[in-house]
Structure 1
Amino acid sequence: MQWRLKAQELANDIEKDMAYGNFDETLEKYRQQPHQDKDTQPVTTAELFEQFIESRRQQGSGEYNLHEVYGTMLRYLQRFGTIDSSDRALEFIGKLKMGELRATAAKPISDRTLNKYTSLLRRFSQWAIAYDHWETDHFRKCETVRTEKNRASREAFTDEERDLILSSLQLSRYYRHYYGYVSAMFFLGLRPSELIGLQWKRIDLEGRSLVIAESLSRGEDGKTSSAARKRKETKTGEVATLPLGSEQLQIFAYQRKKYPDAKPDSLVFPSPEGLAIDDHNFCNRSWHGILREARIDLYRPPYAARHTFATWAKRNGMPDEQTAYWMGHKTTRMVTEHYGHLDKQPMVPRFTWAPLDD
């Protein structure tokens, strides 16, 4: 497992360098560097975690997540000290849970936050083992907390809830502008940064296809404003061409009607001010209101719309391999942990959708 992980990360680095013209023909860049003598130059857990953060950045992880989640964990590790055993790892998790590593007054964290941190530390531990920094998984005894509330918050919307949200948007006084954007959230299944940054030049209405080649990701330190966002390659570094069904084409036709003078580089789903949507503000200011108007009792974040797409597609017969390719994954993790061939000609199921008369 360790050698497979290292081999896959190396292959990803080489593919990315070839795509951007940075391939090292001498291969020196890709050779494994000899480890420093740990006895003479010990690496602290926090320093090792910094290396882990950089590896995730190279693999395309978003800056917001790296700064807000990974960065917070780094500060906790710096305050705690070295973790070199399962007992120390359990002690660290205990202090996390009670909020004793906060810079301000200690305050226990929620089970949901603790689960997020525990999952992150497990990934870090597996990375450290794979790259020969650790010999054992220090966090193997650290279990996530299972609660009904946590499970519910990650649920996909039901078909009825999805349709209720969209029908409510049609009549909404305040949030009607987002009808096309939210429809695309549910029926395209793209990552938020890919959908926010989608440009008209990537859509071929006559050819009935959509190209996902880049994202408009959050800026440095997780800033979400339009000015702070930066165009980047997709999370996996790959370009995907997706065939569009007739109903998906209606969503784009509706947006084109709203913006008849849009240029090829124009955003397909701009904010009311004509800028890139600030997904943080959208979630805090609009999404809560949208769910409230639709009378959805159980809150789920906008990202749940992507999970809703996957659930809906699978229920309607789309194979896991096609769903994974459509959604930009390299694996069909829900059915297997191994990489495999992905069907690159997925056919999206039919659905009912009607444009608004603006």
Structure 2
Amino acid sequence: MNNQSSGIEVKFPGAAGNQFGRNTYLSVIPFKSVERFLMVFPEVQRKINMSRVKQIAEYVINGTLDRNYSFLSAVTATCRGPIRYDEESKQVSIDLNATLSINDGQHRIAGIKLALNTLKRDISKESDSSKKDKLSKRLERLEDMHLPVVIFDNMDEKHEQQLFHDLNLMASKPTKSVSLKFDNTDPYTLMAKEVSLDNHYLLKYGVETEKTQLRDNNTNLMLLSTLRNMISYIIAGNDKDKGSEDTLCLANYDTWKTEIEEILDILFESLPNDCNDRTKYIIGLAVTLQGIGKYIYNLRNGDALNWKEYLVGLKDINWKHNNRMWNGYGGSYDERLERFVFGGTGGGINGVCNALIENNRPTKTIQHS
């Protein structure tokens, strides 16, 4: 640890306090300065996960777009070197020889660095002056963003390790459903939340936004995550799409939402009135609903001009567990459970889609435009 002062300080706006007898500082550091001050020391950190870094970098870059909601929580660090607080100017002063050892947030810092470098690389490669200018403005905006940092003053290695343990291993991670409930960055999740509150069929059958699985005594038809994936299948043909100009984006969002609302109306008009009874039908299974979504994608992108009539034709499908038609399409009937059981998620989704392709027929009794 370098405690020797250089005589040169870098000042950041902030506040000072005390926690369990240790001097604590709170400041904000510009994104463009995080690489200079915030560092990772292996003895007090775990090995970095580059896949997670790339996800955060993508999240950070998307945060420069209009109408996107992106937030990074405070990083916690230990100052290795001289640090002080000026009460008069309300500034945290860090000596130029000092470094901030990251105790919680190394992936956020690495993600910010990667996001900045990615935009710089894209700018250097871009030949179109208009696109280059837009990228430059996004980079400028990103560099001027600030990251909150909680700084502990000069702790030894053992205390830094304990700080890492307490911040990372004792935190409670929210369930996937709760995470989706409060996520406003993924366009498919946003649409799922909106249509679950707007569509009268989804209001009738229910969309579960808290739990991670549905038991028989839960009358909701599906999880929010299932609806999100179903919409993604309908629009993009898979559940991994994150939205783009070719699938779902800000420019086409309202058009797609109207389309999805109509598709859901036709679909649920064609399904049994008690389709949320999972003891009776396979409809309430996540793989079935996603398989239907994939089937709709195939209809809309295939040769059938009358794809809506195929949706109406679903009223003639026997969706009951004991319908032997489902055998061979990703699962089998379990005599003991008296249920049709899918062997796996991917196989089940493809199985439902293929079953409908091979067995469903169009019906011309349709009133929708």
- TM-score using structure 1 length: 0.24
Greater strand share, structure number: 2
Greater Rg by CA:
2
